[in-house]
Amino acid sequence: MSDGVYFVDTHRRIQYWNKGAEQISGYTGEEVVGRYCQDDILCHVDIDGKNLCREGCPLTECLADGKSHQSTVFLRHKKGGRVPVLVNVEPIRDAEGRITGAVEVFSDSTALHQTQRRTRELERLAFLDELTQFPNRRFLEMALSTSLAEYGVHHQPFGVMMLDLDRFKGVNDSHGHAAGDLVLQEAAKSMGGFVRPTDILGRWGGDEFVAIIRGIDMDSLLKMARRWTILVRETQVLGPNGNRISLSVSAGAAMVVEGDTVESLMKRADAAMYAAKQAKGAGRD
């Protein structure tokens, strides 16, 4: 099976771990079997960044109520990046109907597959950033121009997020440019897992990324920005020398208004991002 499958007993001790689980998570059966879910091996979090191994775990709920549970969560790959997965949990019962454990099946989420399909199309159109394989600045500027034109006719609201990696220059200085490239790639993949099918995320340049979020208001846009910063903060990158590099990102958001141009909209988003960076003392590389 390409899907990940594992069994746990009533104490959430892992009894079985298949090849699909190894491929999706990066952890082998030898590293996982015999350990407990509460050891937080995969550091499961939900869309709000809440650690599910401590609260709200689908496996725990299944063992408690004996019902099926389904959820979209984000696991942390052995190499440190975030992987969005769709989780299905079912109880395991003995001949008398008593719960003796649970089985979880998890697979890459639909959003990730949609992102991959979109990536293949963008590659055909030569609008990809070579390093991250996400949309490049040229594509983002075209998408912003299109969104502004649509707003002028139909007044469909949309927002823009400017995201900038914190202390990125220090990564290059301390670990080398190969590590810096890995950080950019993993940051793009982690953030890409949170993008809705109607949104666009791309690399604006350097260590800056831009997301175009359609059909949203300012409050929801700010909440989304906070979620992204929390989820990226849980990401780590395994550097070329085997050292782990923790990531964090600052985000600024701006909603389209009448009379906006690409330049004016991006200027407000950039100013908000810079203010967020200054507020936590990250500075700007």
pLDDT tens-digit map of 205-221 = 999 999 999 999 999 99
Beta bridge partners of 86: 72, 107
Q: Which residues contact residue 244 at a Cβ distance below 8 angstroms, ignoring those fewer than 6 apart?
A: 80, 236, 237, 238
| Domain co-membership, 174 together with 272 | yes
Q: What's the mean per-residue pLDDT of the chain?
A: 89
| Domain co-membership, 48 together with 165 | no
Radius of gyration, alpha carbons of the chain: 21
| Domain co-membership, 180 together with 254 | yes
What is the predicted pLDDT for the residue at 113?
60
Residue 9 lies in a domain: yes
CATH number, domain of 55, equals 3.30.450.20
What is the predicted pLDDT for the residue at 282?
63
Beta strands in the chain (DSSP E): 4-9, 14-17, 69-76, 82-93, 99-108, 158-165, 200-205, 208-214, 236-238, 244-246, 249-255
Residue 247 lies in a domain: yes
- Of 77, 108, 139, the position where a domain reaches its end is 108
- Of 87, 108, 129, the position where a domain reaches its end is 108
Q: Which residues are catalytic?
A: 207
| Domain co-membership, 75 together with 57 | yes
Question: Comparing C-alpha atoms, which of 223, 221, 229 is closest to residue 157?
Answer: 221
| Domain co-membership, 120 together with 249 | yes
What is the predicted pLDDT for the residue at 44?
87
Other beta carbons within 10 angstroms of residue 146's beta carbon come to: 11
Query: Could you list the residue range(s) of the whole structural domain that residue 176 is in?
Result: 112-279
Higher pLDDT, 228 or 1: 228
| Domain co-membership, 163 together with 251 | yes
| Domain co-membership, 125 together with 64 | no
Tens of pLDDT, residue by residue over 234-250, are: 778 887 777 888 888 99
Residue 128 lies in a domain: yes
What is the predicted pLDDT for the residue at 138?
92
CATH number, domain of 182, equals 3.30.70.270
Residue 85 lies in a domain: yes
Residue 284 lies in a domain: no
Long-range contacts of the stretch 104-107 (C-beta < 8 A, 24+): 104/4, 104/5, 104/6, 104/8, 104/58, 104/59, 105/3, 105/4, 105/5, 106/3, 106/4, 106/21, 106/24, 106/75, 107/2, 107/3, 107/4, 107/20, 107/24
Residue 229 lies in a domain: yes
Tens of pLDDT, residue by residue over 105-119, are: 998 775 666 777 777
Tokens of 257: 């208004």
Other beta carbons within 10 angstroms of residue 76's beta carbon come to: 21
| Domain co-membership, 21 together with 100 | yes
Higher pLDDT, 253 or 74: 253
Distance CA 237, CA 165 (A): 13
Distance CA 282, CA 285 (A): 9
| Domain co-membership, 139 together with 194 | yes
What's the CA dihedral at 183, 117, 269, 256 to 10 degrees?
A: -170
Total domains present in the chain: 2
Tens of pLDDT, residue by residue over 33-66, are: 999 988 888 888 887 888 887 788 899 999 999 9
Distance CA 214, CA 255 (A): 10
What is the predicted pLDDT for the residue at 112?
65
| Domain co-membership, 55 together with 156 | no
| Domain co-membership, 158 together with 66 | no
What is the predicted pLDDT for the residue at 239?
78
| Domain co-membership, 102 together with 116 | no
Beta bridge partners of 250: 164
Higher pLDDT, 110 or 120: 120
Q: 133 — phi, psi (to 5°)? A: 65, 30
CB 142 within 8 A of CB 161: no
- Of 76, 108, 140, the position where a domain reaches its end is 108
CB 235 within 8 A of CB 74: no
Residue 285 lies in a domain: no
